[in-house]
Each structure stands twice: as structure tokens, then as C-alpha cells.
Amino acid sequence: MTTTDSTPAPNFIRNIIAEDLKANKNEGRVYTRFPPEPNGYLHIGHAKSICLNFGLAQEFGGLCNLRFDDTDPSKEEVEYVESIKEDIRWFGFDWQDREFYASDYFEQLHEYAIQLIKNGKAYVCDLSAKEIREYRGTLTEPGKNSPYRNRSVEENLDLFDRMRSGEFEDGSRVLRAKIDMTSPNLNMRDPVIYRILHAEHHRTGNTWCIYPMYDFTHGQSDSIEGITHSICTLEFEDHRPLYDWFIYALKIFHPQQIEFARLNLSYTVMSKRMLLQLIEQGYIPGWDDPRMPTISGLRRRGYTPESIRNFCERIGVAKRDSMVDIALLEYSVRENLNKRAPRVMGVLRPIRVVIDNYPENKMEELEAVNNPEDPSMGTRKIPFSRVLYIEQDDFREVPPKKFFRLAPGREVRLRYAYFIKCAGVIKDKQTGEVVELHCTYDPKTRGGDAPDGRKVKATLHWVSAAHSLSAEVRLYNHLFLKANPTDEKDGADFKTYLNPDSLETLTSCHVEPSLKGAAPGSRYQFERLGYFCVDTVDSLNEKLVFNRTVTLRDTWAKIQKFEKENMEVHKGVIKDSKPARQAEITTLPDKRGDLTPIKQEITIDDFSKIDMRVAVVREAYLVEGSKKLIRLMVDLGEGRLRQTFAGVRTTYPKPEELIGKKVIIVANLRPRQMKFGLSEGMLLSGGDSEHLCLTTFDGNPLPGDKVS
């Protein structure tokens, strides 16, 4: 991790708590809570809240409760309760003996409701749900008072008691707070605080047939527990006046509600309702499917708790909604596993290789490094023999330009083994497909180096055919094809954007024998392929199953992708068949002799994909070891700083002069790991290769404003 990565991202809630402690507010107590609804499995958005609530309490020497908001028995299950507890423990947090439930307070909440009725601040309403919506009004029109709003205290107490005793049907009556039907805040227009629901509760059974609404339960539960900082997501900001109103009306301890922007992650959805829909409609087999953004799904895929906690710290805490690129999450797990995952070799799409000049019955053991990032992990022995498997993609009968792997007559290195040269191929007589390669090896190159100093341009991974283990490997990709599948601008259902190639199952894979007996959940780096995890559900000793956690960078795949996209751009160019119009101005400026050639034309659709934003430079440093680069920490209004690099050192030898400047950043580039650190955007600049100047603003745009 770079120095910058270890610096906590901006967190305004941390600052609020620090100021409260300075002022000795709440007698110096810090008391938070994590309040999940047990109506589904937690996803990575909840992970941000877990890390925030438990993490801040831990940081400031406080406490954090686990409280289940179990006020809707029709959707809640014990399975969800247990999965939530497992997820929190997996992250390394402990609520000790402070496991609470909203249902613990049902009697007290009922007493609070009676108190409101007695004080003339609540009434029983007979309007239907549809009628309540109609009476509520709109953002531009005030609501209308319910015809039942002025019932007497005695009548309301009687009706509410009969509601509790089960006399009325579901939906026939509700208890509402009496606030203000003309309030500009719709949440204050006599909200429902109790409804009738004849359903068995997972803890209280059939004791209750009326249940409090979340807005009524939330603040009072916080107050009962003595919570000092009630941290919730931004959609509850408009509910805060109601939170405060209940507490003032009841004259009970007043926690402080603080809202932060929820996590929105690209190429997935963060709604339990939508995730449940995917399961119930058969698109995904379960909550723990490795394509799901659930914590159990990420765990099964091979993500580590440390990588997710680092991700949550890296993205910071903001008051403004934004979309976080999933590449940043992938970077976090890749960074973590790089340090801890043992290296092994596995061949996913095998092609048979016969080394003709290697003795038929010979087998030798070669020494392989377990993790070059951690010498303490030691080495292992891997068997080498006459018949091997390599990847099909590592051979081309007619190699294209820049393909340096195995081809007829070409020599490559086998990892930890020898140089081999392809001498011939065997093809399927019907399909013409290459099914076997015949090679020779140089016995003097054992270990991967040639005594005569000759070099090869590629190193391939391999396994011994006779000693390898059969395995199934599941290659997971993004669940959706669209970065924001819930974007409703085009009116399409979010399931329209499901990725049909989000899972590819390979059943004829071979892995090295050191993986025999690999424990479920064990994580490895398959050299040159990516990070993989032994599946915790389907893997067996006799048939290993691996899930791909995240890929490694593949230079050749990037070249192919670039060339394909370039060809598509060429195909899209329409030549103008009309003769050029005579220029009206015949005197043209002289052409610059040093002008960099303008690159190939792109379409307006291509350009529209670029998201340029205003950024304010907050920090600027010279980059040690580089003659051109400076490192900039820029503010896009996300509640955190992004790290970028710019080759403008010759123009700005004192980079601190840039602090406070408003610059333009391409904000939607995938994060890229450079030699000097992670780059999270590209700053626009102009000039020649020696003297580049950053593009800056003179006006007053705000951080994060779009540039067009």
C-alpha cells in the first residue's frame, strides 16, 4: 500500500465526533449502533455502514450495538438474523453482549404511542392506504386533514386498544402522528406510526398484531439504548425532522442523527428487493452466489474482510451520492491477496505438450516460490515430466504481431523449469483444431536461465499431465453489462442489463498436485491468471472447485481489445464522396512543423462517454524517482480525495503553487496502478512534451461540477 493509501480518506462524521469529544458532549461518550433489517442478506453497501459504525466506536473508545429492526414479521426470518451476525463477525467486529432487537422494545414503544395519544399528538385513522396517499398531497400541493383527525383522546385510546387486541383486519386502521398536513416535508404530514398486521413474529410469536413503523421505532430505540451518534444513509435526511419531533414530543434522550451518502457500486445493484427478485425469478441461485454483491457472495468468491474494510476506508464518507467504480473494489482485493495468497499453477483450457527429447519415464521435482512478496512463505516442489499441459491461449500456429508466446519454431520459458521450443503440431483431422504440441527442451536451462545468455520473451505456466489434479473452475464477471443498471432514463427493467456471460464454468482444468486437500475458502494466485478461492459449497477432495475472485492484468488481452476497438472505429468512418468546397479564405496560418499528429476521429457517442469534472487541488507533491511527475490529491466533492499523477513537473517545479487551483479531471477512468501509486483519474493539460500546463478555471465552479 502506498503512503497515500494508508492515509484515511475524508470522513466528516469522524470530524463531528472529534468535535463533540472536545466539547465533552454526552459526557465524552461515543455510542453508535448498526441496525439492519433481517429481511435479506447484507450487501457491500451494508459493509460500509458496519465499518463506519463499529470502526468509529472502536477508534474513539466507544461502543457499538447490534440492533435488528425486526418490525415487519411478514419479511423477516431467523436465517437472515444468523447470516447478518456471521457477516459482522467475519469483518472482525464484536458487539459482545449488546445484541438487541426492536422487538425488545415493543411494549415500551406501545407505551410511547399511548403517551402521544393522551397528549393529543396521535390519532387512529380509518382511511385506506390509497386514501392516505391521496390525502397526503404532493410536493407542490398541501395535504388534507383526515376526517378522523379530530377524534377525542378517549376514542383514540379505545380504538388503539382494540387494534392491539386483534379486533380489526389488516389495513383497516392505522395510528398516525398529528403533526402538519401542510408541511413542505411530506414525512411530517401525519405519518403512520402503527399498522395492523396479523403475522407471526420470529421472536414474539403471535403476541402482537400491531407493529410500529420504522420512523417511529428508529429514534426511540436509539434513545432507549443511549445512542449518541445515530448514523444512517442520506435518504433519511428528510426524515430527520420527524426523528426529532418524536423525541421532543416524548421528552426522552435525544441522540444526534447524522446522514452519509450510501455506497453505489458500478455494474451491480444495491437493493435487497432487487437482489431477492433475481433469486426468486431464477436468475441467480442464492444470496451467496459469487456474482452477488452480498457479503456472503463476496466471501464465497474469495474476497477477504481486510480488502473490503480497506475499500470502505479508501472511498471515504461523503454527504453527496456518487457511483464508485467496481474497479476500486477489485484493486483492493488484488492488493490484499498479492501479499497473502500462495502462488500455484493451474491450466484452465489445457492443450497437451509432449517434450520429445525428455526421457519418457523420468520425473523431477522443481523448486517454486510460494509468494515473492513474502519470503517467509517459503518454497514448494512441483513435478516435471515429459507430458505437460499449457494454456491453449499461450500458443498460436500463426502468431500475430506482439504475440511473444509459444509458436512453431519459437522458444519460451516454462516457469521454474526449462526453455522449450515448438517443433510440430498435431491437429484434429475433422476440425483442423490443434490438439497437441511437440516440443524440445534445453536441459541446460533448468531454473529458467540459459548459460549462453540467450533470452526469451515469454514465460508460461504449466502442469505435469501425469501428476496434476482435475478441477472445475468458475470464471465470474460483472453481474450487469451496464454500469448503472437501475438508471431509469431509458425506462428499461434493470434485469434487461444482466450479463449473460457473468459466469463461465470450465470443467476440464488441471492444477498442480500441491493443491490436493485444499481447504474450502483457501485463496491462491494462479500464476498469470488471477486470484482464486476454493468454493465453500461445492468443492470436494476428489473434485476441487475454484472460484475466480479477480483477474490479473493481461497484456496480450489488452492489445487484442485495443486492436478490435480500433478496427470498429475504422469501420465506422464514413468517407465524404463530395468534392471539397473551395475555401472562402485563401490565406491560411502556417502549419506548425512540430505539431503532434491529430489522432483518428471518434464519434460524438465515443466522446459522450468521457465524464469530465471540476476538481480542486488540495495537496501536491514531487514524485521521488521521476523527472516529470507530480502527485496531486484532488477534491471532486465526493467526501474523499483522489490521487492522480501529472507529467508537469518542469512547468511546476514547486507543486505546492497548484494547491487551491481548479482543474479538469477525466473522472470515469478506471483506477490504474502505476509504479508510484494508484491513479484515479487524468488531469487535462496542454503544451508540448517538455512544458505541459494544467487546464484551470478562473470562475467559481464547485468541485464535482460537470465540464462540457
Q: Is 48 one of the catalytic residues? A: no
**Under a CB-based contact definition with an 8 Å cutoff, are residues 164 and 122 in contact?**
no
Work out the burial of residue 333: count CB atoms within 10 Å of its CB; fewer than 13 is exposed, 13-18 middle, 19 or more buried: buried
Please, where are the H alpha helices in 60-151?
78-90, 106-118, 129-136
Beta partners for residue 427, in sequence order? 434
Q: Is 272 one of the catalytic residues? A: yes
Fill in the amino acid letter for 609: K
According to DSSP, the β-strands at 630-635 and 229-233 are unpaired
Residue 599 — φ and ψ, nearest 5°?
Answer: -75, 170
Sheet holding 459-460, edge to edge: 459-460, 411-414, 419-427, 434-442, 350-355, 387-391, 463-464
Q: How far is CA 439 from CA 206, 261, 354, 356, 409, in A?
A: 75, 59, 6, 6, 9
User: How many other C-beta atoms can be found within 10 angstroms of the C-beta atom of residue 559?
Assistant: 14
Rounded (5°) CA angle 512-515-517: 145
Q: Which of these is catalytic: 25, 29, 149, 262?
A: 262
Work out the burial of residue 214: count CB atoms within 10 Å of its CB; fewer than 13 is exposed, 13-18 middle, 19 or more buried: middle
Instruction: Say which residue the cell 510440430 belongs to.
Output: 424
Residues 189 and 201: their CA atoms lie apart, in Å, by 29
Q: Which of these is catalytic: 33, 37, 173, 410?
A: 37
**Under a CB-based contact definition with an 8 Å cutoff, are residues 636 and 615 in contact?**
yes
**Under a CB-based contact definition with an 8 Å cutoff, are residues 174 and 125 in contact?**
yes
**Under a CB-based contact definition with an 8 Å cutoff, are residues 253 and 220 in contact?**
no
- The separation between CA 183 and the C-alpha centre of its own chain, rounded to angstroms, equals 38
**Under a CB-based contact definition with an 8 Å cutoff, are residues 688 and 592 in contact?**
no
Residues 484 and 449: their CA atoms lie apart, in Å, by 49
Residues 609 and 671: their CA atoms lie apart, in Å, by 16
Work out the burial of residue 699: count CB atoms within 10 Å of its CB; fewer than 13 is exposed, 13-18 middle, 19 or more buried: exposed
Please, where are the H alpha helices in 264-303?
272-280, 295-301
Residues 167 and 496: their CA atoms lie apart, in Å, by 45
As given in the structure block, the three cell numbers for residue 306 are: 481486510
Q: DSSP code of 266?
A: T
Q: Is 262 one of the catalytic residues? A: yes
DSSP 395-457: B-SSPPTT--SB-BT-EEEETTS-EEEEEEEEE-TTT--EEEEEEEEEGGGTTS--TT----S
Q: List b or e across 19-31, with b for residues whose CB sees 16 or more CB atoms inside 10 angstroms.
A: ebbeeebbeebbb
Find, among 385, 520, 368, 533, the residue nearest to 459 by Cα: 368
Q: Which of these is catalytic: 272, 301, 314, 405?
A: 272
Find, among 304, 377, 366, the residue nearest to 342 by Cα: 377
As given in the structure block, the three cell numbers for residue 82 are: 444468523
Q: DSSP code of 637?
A: S
- The separation between CA 432 and the C-alpha centre of its own chain, rounded to angstroms, equals 43
As given in the structure block, the three cell numbers for residue 295 are: 457479503
**Residues noted as catalytic:** 37, 262, 272
